[in-house]
Amino acid sequence: MEQHQFTCSVVSFTNAEQMSNSPDAVLWNTIVTRDGQNYKVTNVSHLDCKTPQCEITFSVVNGETTGFYGGGSL
């Protein structure tokens, strides 16, 4: 992303209280399934990448990518 002039930063959370103002706080109420095993959510990270025209956020739960969302134009 940085090769394409995005400025990127990572924000990590270890509990729901740290994300109280984020719509992703609901992730703490989900169960992650990996290789047939169910796990509680223990950490959430966001990789935020921005240019003046565009913003993209990648969400990672327990070390696994869960999705992304963006806005603007390239």
Walking along the chain (74 residues) 10 residues at a time, the average pLDDT comes out as: 87 88 82 86 90 88 73 63
According to the model, what pLDDT value does residue 3 have?
Answer: 83
Number of domains in the chain: 1
- Please give the structure tokens belonging to residue 71: 């806005």
According to the model, what pLDDT value does residue 68 have?
Answer: 62
d(CA 21, CA 25) in angstroms, rounded, equals: 8
pTM of the model: 0.73
- List the domain range (segments joined by +) for residue 55: 2-72
Paired with 8 in beta bridges are 49
Q: 37 vs 3, 31, 32, CA distance in Å? A: 37, 10, 8
